[in-house]
Structure 1
Amino acid sequence: MKHSEESFTKVKSYRPFHSAFDPCPPLGRRHYRTPPHLYLGFQPRGLQQFAPMEALRRGTLWPIFYDHYENPYENGREGG
């Protein structure tokens, strides 16, 4: 079974419940990230590897486990 980054979504979101009687304004959409290893199962043999110095910079030897963090609330991308 071949895995690719497109076979799952790393960023998920939800809209918290807001009651009509809640005096606070609604929070809007909230985002959270899931780590790539959740979708892999057992680690297959022969995975592509970063070069040693690149692996140190990224924090993992295998590109399939690398997950660059992008803040969804940065630069006004969050609607609420």
Structure 2
Amino acid sequence: MNRSLNEHVAQLVSEASDGAVTPDEALSASVPLPALGVTSLAQMRLIDALEREYGVEVDLGTDVSHLESVAALAAFVESKR
């Protein structure tokens, strides 16, 4: 997986959570992002940022397990490019 993509996604996670989760915490997390403190509002902000930055569409009516980690989010973005 593209390291810089992971790092950028981690930065977006941090921004969406208003800094409650640092990029380093998001990158190294061994628990799902919500367990780190990424709230549902932060998830919505993150979805908006991903859609804007990468031109992907996140359909909340389908499986959203890719919202659980930076690696899964990066893989999702990569698969939609």
**Larger RCO (CA within 8 A; separation ≥ 6):** 2
Q: Which has the higher strand share?
A: 1
Q: Same fold (TM over 0.5)?
A: no
TM-score normalised per structure 1: 0.30
TM-score normalised per structure 2: 0.29
